[in-house]
Amino acid sequence: MIQEGRIIPLGLLLAFLAVYFYSIRRSIIGKPPTIRKLAGLDAMREVTGRSVEMGRPVYYSTGVGTLRGGDMPMTLAGLTLLGYASQLAASYKAELRYWAAAAELVPIARDVLRGVYLDKFREDQVIFVPGQVPLMATVMGTYEREKPGANFLLGALYWETIILAEAGGRAGAMQVGGTGRLYQVPYVVALCDFCLIGEELLAAGAYVSREPSQLGSILGSDMVRLIVVALMFLVVAGSLVGFDVAAKIFKF
Amino acid sequence: MSWVTRKEIPMAIFAITFLISCFAYYLQVPLLGEVQKGLMDWVLVVVTFAIGTGLASLALFHGGRIKQKSKGYPMSIVIFAALVFMFIACVVSAEARGYWYGDVYTALATAMLSFTAFYNYTAIYRAFKIRNSDAAVFAVAAILLIMLYAPIYELAWPASAQIASWLLDVPSMGAHRGVIIGVAVGILALAVRILLGYERPYGG
């Protein structure tokens, strides 16, 4: 019934899901956990406000990541933050424009922005630029002409990160970047004023919402991480005493 | 649009597809595997339909620029002309498509990529500006890695390659694995939040 070699992973998945459900329930009925400050998310208001004060446009990109495969969670997290960033921009009566590099992101981004701007929403707030090279070329030209005051790069970022962030930097924009894609993290750290690394981007939705149910999932993540670290210690300790845990137990 | 349409239906679609895809990976049930394969085909179909929406967005954006005669609006006319031209070329023959896409567009895209090299240089300058202790560590590590990939430095100072390789294989690899575990745990948490309807990135 269960695929060979996937009994332990399935068991761990179910155990992790149970931990999440427990932590969310505990957070809803009890006291929600206190989570550390994420400078990158806290700075979004300041970055947007500064841009509005300077009378410059606000731009947002989730990179060339799509809603398929491994990019999906990061792109979804980026879209969640698109909602938050557009709320901030709308509260200052400023217009936020979104670069959609994948066709499937266009209707979703429109839906998100329409939900925030309501009758003030304009169709050209979502700019569809298919592909990485056209995106880089368009962004370089647009930022050079329009000099945006805020540039958000949050999602599954690829090689375009360096160009988008550098174009923003040259234009004098304050930038917030975040991705879980390892090879782009150094560029984000080096070029953006504020950054979200790895899991911080994925936890952003829970952080900005401040709802106990969502904060509970962050507590669950910490508990799961502790279990993973304990398993790693088990494997290392087993190896030290000559018992290969990975080969003898995790093979099932 | 009603609350049910905007909240319940997307949630139900996500929950069903998530559970099918998840259990098709773990369980040896041929039916689940077939359904999952069908779902993947549907993803492609939906994405193909979304291209139409994307084109409409493109037309609205550039149409607006032409209508308002914004700065650089002739470029928007070029986009419309290129769109129609490529469509005709693709319909006319596979040879024409191959020529205009493979020989013209790809060459232009490569030229564009080369142009971005200048941005890379200024980005490196910005990254190497030592503003604090973190940036100093970053700059030293980057200089050692540049030395690793330029053989002349290894010739002058053999230890430089060893130090750079150690940086890549030990601290960098350790940090990479830590981030990967964090991302995996974060993805699971995000999936649980969406599955339970607490987080809805697609509006509603």
Cα–Cα distance for residue pair A21/B200, rounded to 1 Å: 18
The DSSP secondary-structure symbol of A214 reads H
What is residue B204's predicted lDDT score, i.e. its pLDDT?
45
Q: Which residues of A touch B116 (CB under 8 A)?
A: 136, 140, 163
Q: What is the pLDDT of residues B171-197, one digit of tens each?
A: 889 988 998 999 999 899 988 888 888
Interface contact A209, partner B, CB < 8 A:
yes
What is residue B130's predicted lDDT score, i.e. its pLDDT?
65
Q: What is the pLDDT of residues A19-76, one digit of tens each?
A: 999 999 999 998 888 888 888 899 999 999 999 999 999 999 999 998 888 888 899 8
**How confident is the model over B41-65, as a mean pLDDT?**
85
Q: Which residues of B touch A68 (CB under 8 A)?
A: 43, 47
ipTM: 0.84
Nearest Cβ partner for B50 among A103, A112, A180: A103
Burial of residue A251, with CB atoms counted within 10 A of its CB: 0-12 exposed, 13-18 middle, 19 or more buried? exposed
Q: Which residues of A touch B180 (CB under 8 A)?
A: 182
**How confident is the model over A191-219, as a mean pLDDT?**
88
Name the helix (H) or strand (E) containing A128.
Answer: strand A126-128
E strand map for A139-243: 150-154, 174-179, 194-197
Please, which residues 76-105 of chain A have a Cβ atom closer than 8 Å to chain B? 76-77, 79-80, 83, 100, 102-104
Q: What is the pLDDT of residues A147-159, one digit of tens each?
A: 999 999 999 999 8
- pLDDT confidence tier of residue A82, bands split at 50, 70 and 90: very high
> Does residue B189 contact residue A219 with C-beta atoms inside 8 Å?
no
Whole-Å CA distances, B83 to A189, B58, B62: 38, 11, 12
> Does residue B142 contact residue B127 with C-beta atoms inside 8 Å?
yes
Question: Is there a contact between B26 and A6 if contact means CB atoms under 8 Å apart?
Answer: yes
Question: Is there a contact between A79 and B119 if contact means CB atoms under 8 Å apart?
Answer: no
Looking at every residue in chain A, the average pLDDT score rounds to 90
Q: Identify which of A197, A205, A115 has the alpha carbon closest to the alpha carbon of residue B193.
A: A205
Cα–Cα distance for residue pair A247/A215, rounded to 1 Å: 36
Q: What is the pLDDT of residues A121-135, one digit of tens each?
A: 988 899 989 889 889
CB contact set of B3 (below 8 Å; sequence gap of 6+):
none
Burial of residue B117, with CB atoms counted within 10 A of its CB: 0-12 exposed, 13-18 middle, 19 or more buried? exposed
What is residue B77's predicted lDDT score, i.e. its pLDDT?
93
